[in-house]
Amino acid sequence: MVRTVSTSETRLLRDPRPRPRARRPCQAPPPTAAAAAEALGFRTMGAEDLPWVQAWTAQLGLPGPRTTRVRSFILTEEGRRVGYLAARATAFNTGQGREPVMWICAAYLIPSHRGRGLLPRFCEKLSAAHYGSGTAVARVAADNATMHRFMARGGWRKIRATQRFTDYALALTRPFRARAGG
């Protein structure tokens, strides 16, 4: 039985009973910036995280953590692993002589979470909890243009550059604060 007859331009006959519309599932409103920040967290790396970290460091071309001097953290969003950050306290020549610094050995975010400004927000939380003042130092591969832009926007000072890497330092008089846009 045909309920509607139509041509390409005009509808000639219409069924008096309209078809029910398909119901759309309710969608949750997008999270606010404050809610998104609350969903971010970190925890000290445990034995259950080792396979993840080994896979991530292999993607970076770095050796896995082998010393107890390195403090390793798992970065989480809503309780799921989304990255890894490792740092160790050491002495480093920052251009003003050797001084104690927090050396960031590795930082990794899974590809689906890159480009969202998460790394500075994770660093802000870690700095508030573990390293409120002093100097943070990081070495960035020469071909990592994204990280070089991040360092420039974040106020990191270039200490030394070679063909393979660039060393950056950031003096902290208080815990690190993520800046808008980097």
What pLDDT was estimated at residue 23? 62
- pLDDT tens column, 35-54: 555 688 899 999 899 888 88
**Residues contacting residue 84 through CB under 8 Å, at least 6 positions apart:** 45, 49, 52, 53, 56, 57, 72, 73, 74, 75, 106, 107, 108
Mean pLDDT in residue range 134-162 = 89
Mean pLDDT in residue range 126-151 = 86
What pLDDT was estimated at residue 148? 92
The 3-class secondary structure across the chain, one letter per residue, is CCCCEECCCCEEECCCCCCCCCCCCCCCCCCCHHHHHHHEEEEECCHHHHHHHHHHHHHHCCCCCCCCCCEEEEEEECCEEEEEEEEEEEEEECCCCEEEEEEEEEEEECHHHCCCCHHHHHHHHHHHHHCCCEEEEEEEECCCHHHHHHHHHCCCEEEEECCCEEEEEEEECCCCCCCCCC
Position 166 pLDDT exceeds 60: yes
- pLDDT tens column, 68-120: 788 889 999 999 999 988 888 888 888 788 888 888 888 889 988 888 888 88
- pLDDT tens column, 12-31: 555 556 666 666 665 555 55
Q: Backbone phi, then psi, for 12, in 5-degree steps? A: -90, -40
Structural domains of the chain, with CATH = 38-172 (3.40.630.30)
Mean pLDDT in residue range 54-79 = 80
What pLDDT was estimated at residue 19? 60
Distance CA 62, CA 56 (A): 9
What pLDDT was estimated at residue 100? 87
From 5, 169, 20, 10, select the one nearest 95 (Cα to Cα).
169
What pLDDT was estimated at residue 163? 94
Position 145 pLDDT exceeds 80: yes
What pLDDT was estimated at residue 161? 93
The model's pTM: 0.68
What pLDDT was estimated at residue 59? 79
